[in-house]
């Protein structure tokens, strides 16, 4: 993580991804979304979020 990298809280991710708190926590617990904890609260870097989104992209079917 660099000094200028955006860091998101769980509440930020709920709004950005439009999913529930439970979904975000499950993704973190399963290791699908990398996070770190400060003061007992999870934080996710922009890089971790970008990696998660990239892995979830749907590839078009070839005919």
Please say if the pLDDT value at position 1 is more than 70.
no
The interaxial angle of helices 10-17 and 21-29, nearest 10 deg, is: 110
Alpha-carbon span 3 to 57, nearest angstrom: 28
Q: Token digits for 34? A: 């990398």
Tokens representing 17 are 């991804």
| Confidence (pTM) | 0.83
Q: What is the pLDDT of residues 5-57, one digit of tens each?
A: 899 999 999 999 999 999 999 999 999 999 999 999 999 999 999 999 999 98
Q: What is the number of other CB atoms lying within 10 angstroms of the CB of residue 4?
A: 6
């Amino acid at each position: 993580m660099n000094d200028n990298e955006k860091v998101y809280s769980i509440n930020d991710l709920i709004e950005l991804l439009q999913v529930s708190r439970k979904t975000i926590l499950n993704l973190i617990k399963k290791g699908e979304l990398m996070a770190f904890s400060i003061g007992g609260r999870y934080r996710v870097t922009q890089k971790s979020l970008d990696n998660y989104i990239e892995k979830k992209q749907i590839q078009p079917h070839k005919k």
